[in-house]
Amino acid sequence: MKKIMIAGAGGAPSEGVINSLLKSGNEIIYGLGSEPTDLILSNAERKFFVPYADTIEYKPALLKILNEQKPDLLHFQNDLEIFHASLFRDEILKTGVKLFMPEHNVIDTCVHKHKSYEAFKNAGVKVPRNIFINNEEDLKQSFIELADNNGKIWLRASSIGGGGKGAIPTSDYALAKSWIDHYNGWGDFVAAEMLCADTITWLSIWHNGELVVAQTRARKGWTHGNRSISGVTGVTKVGVTCSDDLVSKIAIETVKSVSDKPHGIFGVDMAYDKGGIPNPTEINISRFFTTVQFFTEAGLNMPEIFKDIALYNKFPTLNKVINPLPNDLLWLRGMDTKPKLMTADEIESGIIF
């Protein structure tokens, strides 16, 4: 029986993948993680501790585990680990394990937000204007050139990290300066034009330049968003399946702006501008989003498709490659409670009360 090792085990992004793979039932699922308390909670069948990916201990520890356990497929679920493991992927592959991920230059572009912004812009994809903040003059110029009618700009870190890392909307120069000072973020932070609160995500799997499957999901709020200064936490509260030809067109253009031959997982995050056009804000590269189990429970098991291609060169038979799921399915999430798949009609009819 083949073995699949999923990194970040116990965390929400990885557990959705693990639970999806366990539903397919044909492989042994190993969990790999750097947080012992998370590992304890993981549904993986066997669990292994590894140091954080940005430490010198990570590489030898990971290679030792791979050489001893001999998994058939290894998959990562956070940007930091994806980036650092990709740097020594040749040594990983020498252990006999398979990887299904894009080239390192694609990963490097996507995990650094200003690099991806430049790639999107150079390809002609509509994006909010960005200014890289190297010094106070750049910040002052950002307020002059980018502020909306309320005087606001959007600040965020460009370096590796999810969950709206360092994000803040503000019209206050003094606050913006203090914010960047706090994060030691000069030469890392980016200022951007404000977009609307409405966001949408297009999750896709590609193989050697061919699109295998893609599904769109809109976001109806962030869990604990009222506890974040930006309103963004990276944790979707309610997701809803949807389809929009314009979203798909822009998402495909966005993916192809960073790779001539897309391979692996590309999740395009978009926010709408005031004209109603979805603008890409980032590509979540080589990983599924946190709510991937939503699609699995709805009938589209993307982690299963991913491992079938990687391990068996088996491709899915789908009624549609883009948005095979019906529209208006809802995935309700909360802390310390089991997610629930619903429809809007069920909620409106009071079936859950």
Return the bridge partners of 296, or none. none
Q: Length of the chain in residues, anyone? A: 353
Same domain, 88 and 169: no
Q: What is the rounded CA–CA span in Å between residue 310 and residue 296?
A: 18
Same domain, 7 and 146: no
Read off the CATH number of the domain in which 67 is found: 3.40.50.20
* Assigned domain for 265 exists: yes
Q: Does the structure show a pLDDT above 70 at 291?
A: yes
| pLDDT score of 348 | 61
Same domain, 136 and 44: no
Rg (CA), the chain: 20
Structural domain for 69, as ranges: 3-101
Return the bridge partners of 203, or none. 215, 267
Q: What is the pLDDT of residues 33-90, one digit of tens each?
A: 999 999 999 999 999 999 999 999 999 999 999 999 999 999 999 999 999 999 999 9
* Residue 269, both tokens: 């995050």
Same domain, 247 and 325: yes
* pTM, entire model: 0.89
Same domain, 184 and 255: no
Mean pLDDT of 285-307: 95
Say how many C-beta atoms besides its own lie within 10 A of residue 256's C-beta: 17
Same domain, 185 and 251: no
pLDDT category of residue 350 using cuts at 50, 70 and 90: low
Q: What is the rounded CA–CA span in Å between residue 240 and residue 284?
A: 19
CA atoms within 13 A on the CB side of 273: 13
* Assigned domain for 116 exists: no
Q: What is the rounded CA–CA span in Å between residue 234 and residue 223?
A: 8
| Pairing relationship of beta strands 189-192 and 28-33 according to DSSP bridges | unpaired
Return the bridge partners of 192, or none. 130, 154
Same domain, 328 and 251: yes
- The domain tally of the chain equals 3
* Residue 101, both tokens: 């991920």
- Among positive and negative, which fits the CA dihedral 151, 111, 207, 74? negative
Read off the CATH number of the domain in which 168 is found: 3.30.1490
Q: What is the pLDDT of residues 101-148, one digit of tens each?
A: 999 999 999 999 889 999 999 999 999 988 989 999 999 999 999 998
Same domain, 14 and 91: yes
